[in-house]
Amino acid sequence: MATRYRRAAVAVIALLAATLFVPAAGATQPTIVGGDEVSIRDYPYAVFLTDRRGGQFCGGVLVEQDTVLTAAHCAQAVPRADLVVVGGRQDKRTESGRTSGVESIWVHPEYRTPGSGNDIATLTLSRMLWYPTARPATGADAGLYTAGAEATVIGWGRTADGGPRSNTLRGATLPIVSDQDCGQAFRNYDPTTMVCAGLPEGGVDACTGDSGGPLLAGTTVIGIVSWGVGCGEPGKPGVYTRVAHYDGRIGDSTQPRLFP
């Protein structure tokens, strides 16, 4: 079983990048498996990333009207000048909602591959997207990471490993997995920078094309879709960037703060 990043390939450069960014033997990219269609009205802060040709390859979440939180491997998938953020669009086949180019990209300076942690980035938009925003988790939100606590993952990715991509926004509710269980599932699991979510029997997960999208507790972003093995495989929960770990500790006077 190959390791999956949950980003869809967008061009030759993205395909080459996918071969370089391999977290561990066995990891893939994630859309939502075992979920249902959800309304963008219920998740107005959900956005997706495309190239200039309109090919959707990742998700993201508005944390300010001009700032998107996403995965580092998504931010590096295409050149900044070719990156487009789409907000307010339920169905990718329509022209609804608003779009923006990207003015600047911040990637965690210690990011190397999704499987090594720190798979987090922010995109500063070239225009405001006037939609409600989500709140990034902070150190005060430790309870949201308790094993068994429910969270919701949303995205436009594949609905099965190797299956078709969803044209519409989908979501699924799944439990947080303990650090002990996730460490047993993945040798490279880092409980400081990562968090796992999924059912022991599998069947509910993010999948290819969901990378960068949010794992939510209400309107609080507790995770960013990062990597996994297959989609919805038994005993292989999805792995997410642990957002609370980065509370106020990223960025300096020469680069934008992670969370404005």
Domain CATH code at residue 92 = 2.40.10.10
Residue 206 belongs to domain spanning: 135-245
Q: Does residue 236 sit in the same domain as residue 147? A: yes
Point out the least confidently predicted range of 11-25, 84-98, 181-195.
11-25
From 101, 125, 149, the end of a domain falls on 125
Which sequence positions are flagged as catalytic?
73, 119, 211
CA 121 – CA 141 distance, rounded (Å):
20
Q: Does residue 57 sit in the same domain as residue 146? A: no
**pTM assigned to the model:** 0.87
Q: In this structure, is residue 65 part of a structural domain?
A: yes
E strands, 31-168, in order = 36-37, 46-50, 56-64, 67-70, 84-87, 98-107, 121-125, 135-136, 150-155
Give the amino acid at 84.
V
Residue 2 reports pLDDT greater than 80:
no
Q: Does residue 238 sit in the same domain as residue 146? A: yes
Q: What is the pLDDT of residues 105-125, one digit of tens each?
A: 999 999 999 999 999 999 999
